[in-house]
Amino acid sequence: MEFISWNIDSLNAAVEHTSARGEMTWSVLQEIAAKKPAVFAIQETKAKKTGLTKKQTEVMGELFPDYFQYANISMGRPGYAGTLMLSQQEPLQVDYPTIGAPGDMDLEGRIITLEFEEYFVTTVYTPNSGSELARLEDRQAWDHAFKIYLESLDRQKPVIVSGDFNVAHQAIDLKNPQSNHHSAGFTDEERASFTELLEAGFIDTFRTLNPTKEQIYTWWAQISRTAKQNNSGWRIDYYLASQRLRSQLKDFTVLDTGERRDHAPIKVVFDFKS
């Protein structure tokens, strides 16, 4: 069973595809649709406060026919953050949880959870600590609250969680660890929080399958024209899973986005037959 997750950085840009970058995003979206994942999770939809537009809903319905669509819209900051999940199977329940995060974080549409008979599938768009780490303290509070939330799910049944976690866990997970030691996404505090999440009973599916593999990244800075060419990236997008799903984990892939910088989609495969 295949699951795909992607920080799309504006669903509207993909649907309208009126710019060169929008065309690239649209092309990747079409490729994902052709793969027909069981669940497709999207972060950073940047939808309006009123929700997905009629065109966005229709286009996604055409790309993913017979899928169930669930959107969590940012009410705190319109046109910001937001998540979307598409599922071939209708879930038993859909939740748009608040986790007691500080400020407006709980109002930014950052989490969707689908409950199925044997497991939960959830996606998250983790807040960025921001320039000069202005949001680091709030980010740490978010990480702690999200860990508690995942633990509550895991006590009920296994969990598969994807998303943009906005952290490179280890030095191996970014091209230039030395020069980014105090940058958002690679601070000691953020990395420690991610370690705590794994220690709470979850595996990093990519690193489980590839313990020492280097130069595999999921994000390259848009502002750098050579970031993708030089593979100067970060691995900040993950599929985590409850430890008891480890034996059913079969594959993990970062999907190719060509020249398009920013995030790349990630795909994980589980065998739920055995």
90-131 pLDDT tens trace: 999 999 999 999 999 999 999 999 999 999 999 999 999 998
Would you call 263 a catalytic residue per the annotation? yes
Q: What pLDDT is stored for residue 252 in this prediction?
A: 98
Backbone φ/ψ region at 95: left (φ over 0), alpha (ψ -120 to 50), beta = beta
Average the pLDDT over 22-34 and give the result: 97
Residue with tokens 């939960």: 120
- Please tell me which residue in 143, 169, 204, 263 is annotated as part of the active site: 263
Measured CA to CA in angstroms, residue 95 lies from 72, 186, 202 at distances of 9, 30, 21
- Please tell me which residue in 106, 143, 164, 204 is annotated as part of the active site: 164
- Please tell me which residue in 125, 149, 217, 239 is annotated as part of the active site: 125
pTM for the full predicted model:
0.98
Average the pLDDT over 249-273 and give the result: 96
* C-alpha closest to that of 158 among 270, 40, 10: 270
* Superfamily classification of domain 2-270: Endonuclease/exonuclease/phosphatase (3.60.10.10)
Average the pLDDT over 179-204 and give the result: 97
Q: Is 274 a residue whose pLDDT tops 50?
A: no
Contact 248, 219 (CB under 8 A): no
Would you call 95 a catalytic residue per the annotation? no
Contact 86, 66 (CB under 8 A): no
| Binding site feature residues for Mg(2+) | 7, 44, 164, 166, 262-263
